Amino acid sequence: MNEAKKLARILVVDDEERNRRLLVAMLEAEGYSASEAADGMQALELARQSPPDLILLDIMMPGMDGYEVARQLKAAEATCSVPVVMVTALDDRESRLRGLEAGAEEFVSKPVDRNELRVRVRNLLRLKEFSDFLANHNRILETQVNERTRQLTASYRETITTMTRAASYKDEETGAHVARVSFYSAELAQALGMGAAFCDVIHYASPMHDVGKIAISDAILGKPGQFEPHEWEIMKTHAALGAKMLGGTDSPYLVMGAEIAGGHHERWDGGGYPLGLRGEAIPLPARIMQICDVYDALRSRRPYKEAFSHERSTEIIITGDGRTEPSHFDPAVFEAFQRSTARFCDIFEAHRDGG
């Protein structure tokens, strides 16, 4: 007799003590561990406390009959996978259909034939053992997948931090600016009704919007005044360079980062760069980042301009000033920004430069 058979636990449910003792004796003679329940409520409680490997269930019992017991067993997460064998003197088709509908896997007729019982119990326990193996295997796989996902996510975020830090050495943009655009973009994504996964990815991907500036010369990046036309053309290449640097990866963070880097200077009306994309041809993350970047640039001091107040910055974005116009922005993102201006102000104040 194998060890699995010895360890199998079977619950016998019958309102007649003589029937229970007969079944228990048969099962113990085959090497199984058997316990008893005298009614449906006791059976449900015992099964809930310690789910058995199999249940032998009488149908005709006072109070809660076997059909209802089976239904409740199959409805409970802890016992839904436990095989149920209905033990009954009923042999009509309707009774068996009711049993199957209630969730029973097998039937044994009264008076119980020992050989029939042995075969049915053995076969169902084999199926249960295999089912448990698959369930446990799936749990192990799920745990491994979750752990690998966690490791990959941590690795992706570490890559983002490293690349963003490298870009900061080449540019005057501060760590506070990086933090602000992360929160701006996630705030707008939420206002647009995007899911939690999208909001998480854009929070981490948005700081890479200007990573292409790593490839721009210090003489141009550090120039204190306005750019000459040829310098401006070089400066504009940072968008395409950033998209190229972040491309060719499976990381959702870097994929979105590439979309943002390449598209956050595009405009809804087609007047942006580097490709002059128009409307929804511009990836949504870039359309979100565009207005975030404009707001933060207006709020920040630059060599060629002083910082604007929150009120003046939002006024420029919403009404336009010739340089920045509402037509530059995705109308849905523009509307979400107008509903989120107070949060933008809060984010800026919470992450001020030098704060």
Tokens of 92: 């009509």
Local confidence band at 3 (pLDDT 50, 70, 90 cut-offs): very low
More confident residue, 11 or 177: 11
pLDDT category at 162 given cuts 50, 70, 90 is low
SS3 label, residue 302: strand
Query: Which residue in 308, 285, 284, 288 sits closest to 298, CA to CA?
Result: 308
- Domains identified in the chain and CATH numbers: 3-140 (3.40.50.2300), 169-350 (1.10.3210.10)
Written as six digits, the tokens of 23 are: 């079944």
Residue linked to tokens 């360890």:
7
The alpha-helical segments, DSSP class H, found in the chain are 3-7, 17-29, 40-49, 66-75, 93-102, 114-168, 175-191, 196-205, 218-221, 229-246, 252-263, 284-299, 310-319, 331-339, 341-350
Neighbours of 305 (CB within 10 A): 10
Q: What is the pLDDT of residues 240-261, one digit of tens each?
A: 998 998 888 788 888 999 999 9
Is the pTM above the cut of 0.95? no
